[in-house]
Structure 1
């Protein structure tokens, strides 16, 4: 587990550094486009993380109970990969020009191939996590992030520009091929089964994907919605690029490691179903405490960091950075309560909680408020609304367990 902790910290730091490098390697307009593309890709992978989560739960439950159904995550992954390829290939001409200019064809192709590869990476991640092969899973995470970081540094030094950063966004999704090629243990693990048959597996993966897709709206895709809902006459004291950068940077230290730790939390909650509230309290308290401490630090040194390390146009006041940091902790708490609901097979409530959170956040984002105000309020109120749904479901699960 120590290796997983180190890998998640490295993933958070490397994502931060890649975005930072992009702000220097590209002009402000290109950097804004890159952040939107980055956000969309990881929002789409957020949908596919539902496959990883349910695979983790199914493999872990099969290992704990000894039950083995006929469900095959790899086969389902092939179907989902083909679906992702078709959707991007057939619709990219319409929405890609809204994100990037001049290289829409290659950007669409990279997006399609990247999502196909990430589908299989999600399956392998779920299997490795469900079997408790944390060192192998940590290696996959570190490789995914390390490839992006190394190539970003090379692209900056070589002056390769926007096309290279588009490729860098998606290339880490091929890491699963390296892990399988280099590890006999990982190749043997791919035969692991889940505890349910094909139809229940497909339904549960679909539910999990709806929830993780909704979570991606709040976590990685939110900059896309900021861009889409902000007109040229917006009422704001900061630039759109500045607020997008602030959202991205304040999320990375909390949510990127937590995203990578989801599989470990699922295994923890599956093993501690009989004492779920106690198992839930520690990570929620830790994340909220980190949000308070991190928010104070962001208020004090955040504006200075933006001024020193970033170009003009990215200035954001300390109070906004503090609120956005605590908002990230609220989203992190929602992730944890959602994972707990999934672990006790409350798939419907898991989905409803995330959809509620995203819907409330997007509704607030449409209010006639200054940009920075509606972004901050949306990212706090939305997760709180969704968390209440999850907690209600967990209370119902606890009551049902007592009656048995």
Structure 2
């Protein structure tokens, strides 16, 4: 371990600010890709693209369980004596997980791809599999940088990923590549982790850090985190896939609903997802006051969300029509309720980070899986598409929040040194 990579203390305001700037740039890039796709592809075509965008967000979002596990273990490793302890290299584990999961995804495509991808099926499966392998390493490196307090490099990795997507999207528009080009743009950032390692000596030093536990223990903790991250990804990024699975042909109406869902949640969930490393590090540092530490981030999310609900209900319909064209027409009340649903998912993200920091991996995954199952069941209600979307996104996360808070409230305020420690769910 080198000095360049050694964790240097608690999460600071400057670290949050640096990640905040990177998050703003990342969000702007994401909006740019969605804007270009919506303008070029029209609502029906955009719904096809959005399903792939959501599918990629789903599988890569699941891989971000590796980010959470790596953040926690690298941060704990700074306070653990290495004598006679097993050692695990998180990036090596991530590489193996990436190869295996990508192969499994491609090998099982015949079973699920016909139900998900309406066009360019072979290309979609290939890009999805290769992109997943890359993002296993991407997420793990992000987690290691967060655990080591290397927030400048953390932000640089985020921005590089997002900027590569915009570059390919712009080239797609100029070259007239249509849907195929936007599929490539979606996965363009999968190699950004390698670019950062080549350019940054500090990142290379962090990449050599280890967790003082066995690979099996690391994978067990990561497994729970991946399961929960996968469930969260269904609600956050993969929702278009879930919507298509329960509604069938989405058509133009589905395209409008998906765009509205994406735009109303992005201002909250993009920065919150990007700051997972900050949140987990914060909750690890404040482990003796878990519920008190939870109140601050949750209150901030609720306050920002309230402003968002008001803005979406008043200015949202006009912004949607002006920004994306007259075909994208949605009622102000729909946009306000969808924003409220985004607030619920954001609060679930915060409580989830607190349970990860407390090594309550089973409770973490149980909360997210419960929320996802509840939302999926609510999407089957015999209601109009817009109404059942709102009900699912607003009510499902409340189930998961209840699970997380209940478990956190009854746990002793100590931090197990490794994920081998006994958990209570």
TM-superposed deviation, 1:46: 1.1
Going from structure 1 to structure 2, the CA distance change for 1:227 and 1:102 (only over 3 Å counts) comes to: closer
Distance in 1 between the 2:20 and 2:248 partners? 41
Counterpart among 14, 17, 36 of residue 51 in structure 2: 36
Distance in 1 between the 2:78 and 2:140 partners? 17
TM-superposed deviation, 1:167: 0.6
Counterpart among 306, 310, 328 of residue 320 in structure 2: 306
Question: Counterpart in 1 of 2:10?
Answer: none
Counterpart among 151, 159, 165 of residue 134 in structure 1: 151
Contact 1:114–1:170 (Cα < 8 Å) also in 2:
yes
For the residue of structure 2 that corresponds to 1:27, the secondary structure is helix
Question: Counterpart in 2 of 1:114?
Answer: 131
Question: Counterpart in 1 of 2:310?
Answer: 296
Distance in 1 between the 2:413 and 2:118 partners? 54
Question: Counterpart in 2 of 1:185?
Answer: 202
Distance in 2 between the 1:198 and 1:372 partners? 45
Contact 1:40–1:221 (Cα < 8 Å) also in 2:
yes
TM-superposed deviation, 1:102: 4.2
Question: Counterpart in 1 of 2:419?
Answer: none
1:5-404 pair list within 5 angstroms: 5-66=20-81, 69-231=86-248, 239-398=253-412
Distance in 1 between the 2:284 and 2:320 partners? 42
Query: CA RMSD for the aligned pairs?
Result: 1.8
Distance in 1 between the 2:210 and 2:413 partners? 30
Contact 2:290–2:413 (Cα < 8 Å) also in 1:
no
Can you list the C-alpha shifts for 1:124-148, whole angstroms capped at 9, x where unaligned?
Answer: 1111111000000100001111111
Distance in 2 between the 1:23 and 1:99 partners? 19
Contact 2:128–2:187 (Cα < 8 Å) also in 1:
yes
TM-superposed deviation, 1:107: 1.7
Provide structure 1 residue ranges, at least 5 long, that are not aligned to the other structure: none
Going from structure 1 to structure 2, the CA distance change for 1:26 and 1:395 (only over 3 Å counts) comes to: same
TM-superposed deviation, 1:63: 1.4
Can you list the C-alpha shifts for 1:7-58, whole angstroms capped at 9, x where unaligned?
Answer: 1111122112211110112233221111000000011011101111101100
Distance in 2 between the 1:102 and 1:261 partners? 34
Contact 2:22–2:158 (Cα < 8 Å) also in 1:
yes
Going from structure 1 to structure 2, the CA distance change for 1:91 and 1:274 (only over 3 Å counts) comes to: same
Contact 1:288–1:326 (Cα < 8 Å) also in 2:
no
Contact 2:89–2:208 (Cα < 8 Å) also in 1:
no
Distance in 1 between the 2:119 and 2:386 partners? 30
Going from structure 1 to structure 2, the CA distance change for 1:100 and 1:400 (only over 3 Å counts) comes to: closer
Distance in 1 between the 2:122 and 2:413 partners? 54
The range that moved more, 132-141 or 107-116, is 107-116
For the residue of structure 1 that corresponds to 2:410, the secondary structure is helix
Aligned length: 398
Distance in 2 between the 1:65 and 1:78 partners? 25
Contact 1:349–1:390 (Cα < 8 Å) also in 2:
yes
The range that moved more, 171-180 or 68-77, is 68-77
Distance in 2 between the 1:117 and 1:394 partners? 33
Can you list the C-alpha shifts for 1:56-105, whole angstroms capped at 9, x where unaligned?
Answer: 10001111344564222123212211222212221224433434444222
Contact 1:25–1:159 (Cα < 8 Å) also in 2:
no
The range that moved more, 193-202 or 355-364, is 193-202
Provide structure 2 residue ranges, at least 5 long, that are not aligned to the other structure: 1-14, 416-425
For the residue of structure 1 that corresponds to 2:359, the secondary structure is coil
Contact 1:34–1:100 (Cα < 8 Å) also in 2:
no
Distance in 1 between the 2:34 and 2:374 partners? 28
Going from structure 1 to structure 2, the CA distance change for 1:194 and 1:63 (only over 3 Å counts) comes to: same
| TM-score when normalising by structure 1 | 0.94
Can you list the C-alpha shifts for 1:138-178, whole angstroms capped at 9, x where unaligned?
Answer: 00001111111122122212222111110110111210011
